[in-house]
Amino acid sequence: MKRFDPRTKLALGIMGIAAVLLTRNTFPLAVEMVLLLGGLLTLKMLRPLVRVLKLILPLVGLVFVIALISFAWETALVLALRLFNLFTLSFVFFQALDPEELGDGLRKMGLPYEFSFILTTSMRYVPLIGMRIRLIADAQRSRGIDLRPRLRNVPRFMALLMPLLVQAFILAEQLAMAMESRGFARKGRSFRRGYRIPLHEYGLMFLALCLLATFVIWERG
């Protein structure tokens, strides 16, 4: 699946999400879940999913309990299954499609290069910003500012926010200068990696479309 053209991955992801969102009954949702887990088993991605599930399942459980208290158990089950399927689909989507491929896919679908590049680069800097938050928190705690998540500490979070904002602006300016210096704005850019959707991927997309139609008809029928 990793070898698929990014447009194929995007199309499959969008159709999968549409199928989950359009499904409103327990049984079709359960079928979707089985299909998803079966697919993951075939692709040998079940083990990494289990690690992510440890974080997701408490949230799914919480939604189920709240819905159970507020509505009927059928609604609670539908909401919990839908959430689980959405998380699983998103997991597969981001495992199979790295941010640069997503950008390339969108560019091939007509999005200007500048926008697709900004999208992928901003994703790349998320871990760096996360690291900066940790460093700022350490520096502030070491000079006596309590940043533990307590109500009385809320005003103190300015000590975290302000340095982060300033550093993000500085980084953005430096990044812009570095990109400019390496020809980001230059006309006539070429691309190292070429993309082509092979016939079997068109077939797969058609199959996915048929499945989506089947679920919609099943739901409405």
Partner 1 sequence: MIDLTHINYRYDELSTEWVLKDTNLKIGKGEYVLVCGKSGSGKSTLAYLLNGLIPHFLDGELQGRVSVVGKDSRDLTVADLMSLVGLVFQNADAQLFNSTVDKEIGFGLESLGLSAPEIEEKIERTSKALHIEHLLKRSPMTLSGGEKRIVAIASVLSVSPPVMVLDEPLAHLDWEGAKRIREVLLQLHEKGTTLVVIEQRVGALHQDATRCLILEKGEVLFDGSPGDAHPILIHQHLVPRYPARTTGNEHFGTTLLEVQQISHAIEKRPVLKDLSMEVKEGEILAIVGPNGAGKTTLVKHFNGLLHPSRGNVLFMGKGVRRQSPADIASRIGIAFQNPNDQFFKTTVEDELAVGWDLCKKTPAGWLEELRTLFHLHELLSQSPYRLSEGQKKRVSIASVLVMKPRLLVLDEPTVGQDGLFLETLADLLLTLCAKGFTIVIVTHDLDFALATARRWVVVHGGKVVATGPPRELAKDENLLKMGALGNPEWAPADNVHETF
Indicate the residue among 132 and 219 with the shorter CB distance to partner 1. 132
Rounded to a whole number of angstroms, the minimum distance from the CB of residue 41 to partner 1 is 26
Least distance between partner 1 and beta carbon 215 (Å)? 35
Q: CB of 3: closest distance to partner 1 in angstroms? A: 16
Of 16 and 103, which CB lies nearer to partner 1 in the complex structure? 103
Q: Find the shortest distance in angstroms from Cβ 191 to partner 1.
A: 6
When the beta carbons of 139 and 207 are compared against partner 1, the nearer one is 139
- In the complex with partner 1, the residue whose CB is nearer, 127 or 221, is 127
Least Å distance, CB 150 to partner 1, is 11
Closer to partner 1 at the Cβ: 154 or 217?
154
Give Cα 2 distance to the centre of its chain.
Answer: 16
With helix as H, strand as E and coil as C, how does the chain read? Answer: CCCCCHHHHHHHHHHHHHHHHHCCCHHHHHHHHHHHHHHHHHCCCHHHHHHHHHHHHHHHHHHHHHHHHHCCHHHHHHHHHHHHHHHHHHHHHHHHCCHHHHHHHHHHCCCCHHHHHHHHHHHHCHHHHHHHHHHHHHHHHCCCCCCCCCHHHHHHHHHHHHHHHHHHHHHHHHHHHHHHHCCCCCCCCCCCCCCCCCHHHHHHHHHHHHHHHHHHHHHHC
- Shorter beta-carbon distance to partner 1: residue 55 or 69: 55
Residues at the site binding partner 1, with contacts judged by CB under 8 A = 98-100, 120-121, 124-125, 127-128, 132, 135-136, 138-148, 158-159, 161-163, 166-167, 170-171, 174-186, 188-194
In angstroms, give the least distance from the CB of 160 to partner 1. Answer: 8
